[in-house]
Amino acid sequence: MTDTHDVQAPGVGKQPRFVLRMIAAIGIALSLFQLYAAGIQPLGLFFQRPIHLGFILVLCFLMYPVTGDRPRGVLGWAIDGTLIACGVLVGYWVPANIDAIANAIIPRNIDVTVGIITTLVVLEAARRAIGLGMTIIGAVFILYAFAGNRGELPFLSDFLPGILNHRGYTLERLSSQMTLGAEGIFGLPLGVAATFIFVFVLFGAFLEVTGAGKFFIDLAYAATGRQRGGPAKAAVIASAGMGSISGSAIANVVTTGAFTIPLMKRLGYRPAQAGGIEAAASTGGQIMPPLMGAGAFLMSEFTRVPYIEIVLVSIFPAFLYFGAVYLLVHIAAVKQGMTGIPSDELPKVRDVLAEGWHFLLPLVALVWLLVVGYSPMRVGFYAIVAVIGAAMLRGLMQYVAAGPTIPALIALAKAGVARTLEALELGARNAVAVSMACAVAGIVVGVVGLTGLGLKFSAMMLAFSNGNLLLALLLVVLASLILGMGLPVTAAYIVLIILVGPALTEQFGMPILVAHLVVFWWSQDSNVTPPVALAGFAGAAIANASPMETSVQAWKYAKGLYLIPLFMVFNPSIIEGGPVPLVLWNGVIAILALTAFAAALEGFLFGPMPIWARVAVLPGIVAIFWPSLQAEIAGAVLIAALLALNWMTAKKHRETMTPA
């Protein structure tokens, strides 16, 4: 932690020294509170969630001043000081008054007033931490609850289509729904953020501070750097490792892209192409087990499917995604005649493992604890303990190797304490955005439960699609893209699954886990899909390229994000399991279809593909996605024949070009 004036820190901005100290102290206190609840004494939901939210609100208003990048001044401090006091009130009120709230026959006026303050403060904090889009969505849902004959704003019902109309609710009723029960702000989304998500965000912070990011990047370079397009392939592999830990596609781009994008440009990739490849690979980190950002924890709570089961069924689809990105990168490298990085400029796998093998121990411990049945929150706690233990072991080994002395031991202890405090602070800061997204998502959940909007939306979706599943899925894709323009992916997933989940599962008969995975995958598309491609924009900044051109490249390389969920829908055995021959068959044809799609997209596989072959392979891809064994066989045969022809043609061309 730095102690200088006007320091630029991630998510903090330029702040006076005393504010940085306050942020550090509150962040460390929040992380210690969360570790206590995760590993020592679990707390009830009406203690854990309000206290967590209170800490997050105070942090948010300290980190994001009302004045933006300008100094706060007297008026700024008056506004932010009031909001900070409201944040403290939010964290204190429900735990301190839980008995009176529970015993009240009707909500007390003071509880309603605090509920109104809580809702308004949450919306303002979300605006600062996430952006205006999330606040607007929360406000629109609140206005929707007030519409109707008995609501606070009955005239709004005149603007609602008949199917969306409802009775309307008063300010007292809505305030009670938002803050005095388990369906509003203190509902399931915030509950997951305050338990599972926070502890794994903290786990990622400990890995980051102890140097795990550099280890994964170096390991990826050592494994792939000599191959054609080596830095791009290293970006894919490093992003798979880092993305699962970081919980943010944008953070993944910034972390790994700082190394991979310049090397890709040096090798011959165009700047926009290099930024797009990194954005596509980094987005895949959110769907890569074991952590999968925050999605797997939320999915487990929504579906009541054990977390470890979600992790296991997500492994093969995640490898399909990264395989597709890797193949597209390879094809681009071969087409452009690229070579790898010279061996003397690359780290060696043996040296990288010797230097950082201890970073693998916490991940192994994490997976093992999940498999044996520990709760995710307790697993996260022990994983953090394992990271600290591994870092201490490594430090002691270096201490002994350098020659043990008392001054060296004191320096080692100071460095260990400093890194621990840095990780505790970083984990808390990294959790602000996702916790605020989940708090506002709780407003959406509360209004949907109060008004029955979920069932109404499902009925509308069924009417628009006319019972056609493919058309319904297209509507989900469009909705996810629109939501993604203003929401982070976690919030987009929550809002979308609340609205379309009942239609997919009840009206179209989709298995609940498949429906959630499909919506979760598609909620990632705002990272790579123009006109709003946040990971693409981050990649463009590092590559010094056009943001829109980089986003188009990211969209191109991330096509698996759209295709693989469709395959899950029409071939659910890759998720749900089934007879081994069927699972193997679906796995083989999925790989075949994605290979054919990559070849058709690039016009190249073993060699150039003529236009007629690129067009002819498309019916085979469609047939493989069609839920019919006969169609799948026909599609697989067609694709195999065309790819074999491409291989033979390329081989013949190479033999012709080779001197006798």
**What is the DSSP secondary-structure string of 339-389?**
----GGGS--HHHHHHHHGGGHHHHHHHHHHHHHT--HHHHHHHHHHHHHH
Are residues 104 and 111 in contact, defined by beta-carbon separation less than 8 angstroms? Answer: yes
Looking at residue 486, what is its pLDDT?
A: 55
Eight-state DSSP code of residue 289: T
Mean pLDDT along residues 410-437: 88
- Percentage of the chain with pLDDT > 70? 93
Across 109-118, 231-240, 280-289, 574-583, least confident range: 231-240
- Tens-place pLDDT, residues 459-503: 777 778 887 888 888 888 888 877 766 566 777 788 888 888 888
Helix (H) or strand (E) holding 484: helix 469-484
Mean pLDDT along residues 387-412: 81
Tell which wins on pLDDT, 507 or 531.
507
Assigned token pair, 610: 């003529």
* Closest to 477 (Cα-Cα) out of 465, 466, 467, 140: 465
Are residues 638 and 620 in contact, defined by beta-carbon separation less than 8 angstroms? Answer: yes
Mean pLDDT along residues 152-161: 78
Looking at residue 394, what is its pLDDT?
A: 79
* Closest to 148 (Cα-Cα) out of 167, 120, 132: 167
* Closest to 52 (Cα-Cα) out of 156, 159, 202, 216: 202
Asked whether the predicted pLDDT for residue 12 surpasses 70, the reply is no
Asked whether the predicted pLDDT for residue 578 surpasses 80, the reply is no
Asked whether the predicted pLDDT for residue 10 surpasses 60, the reply is no
Asked whether the predicted pLDDT for residue 127 surpasses 50, the reply is yes
Assigned token pair, 210: 């102890």
The pLDDT-based confidence of 359 (bands split at 50, 70, 90) is confident
pTM of the complete model beyond 0.85: no
Assigned token pair, 387: 């990271």
Phi, psi of 608 (to 5 degrees): -60, 140
| Cα→Cα distances 151→148, 169, 488, Å | 5, 4, 31
Average pLDDT of the chain, as a whole number: 83
Looking only at Cα atoms, what is the longest distance across the chain?
Answer: 95
- Tens-place pLDDT, residues 297-330: 788 888 888 888 888 888 888 888 988 888 888 8
Instruction: Taking the CA atoms of 319, 324, 328 and 331 in sequence, report the sign of the dihedral they define.
Output: positive
Are residues 444 and 137 in contact, defined by beta-carbon separation less than 8 angstroms? Answer: yes
Residue carrying structure tokens 């997209």: 601
Asked whether the predicted pLDDT for residue 3 surpasses 50, the reply is no
CA dihedral 258, 262, 265, 269 (to 10 degrees): -30
Tell which wins on pLDDT, 251 or 360.
360
Looking at residue 608, what is its pLDDT?
A: 87
Rg over CA atoms, the chain: 26
* Closest to 553 (Cα-Cα) out of 576, 572, 575, 537: 537
Looking at residue 181, what is its pLDDT?
A: 81
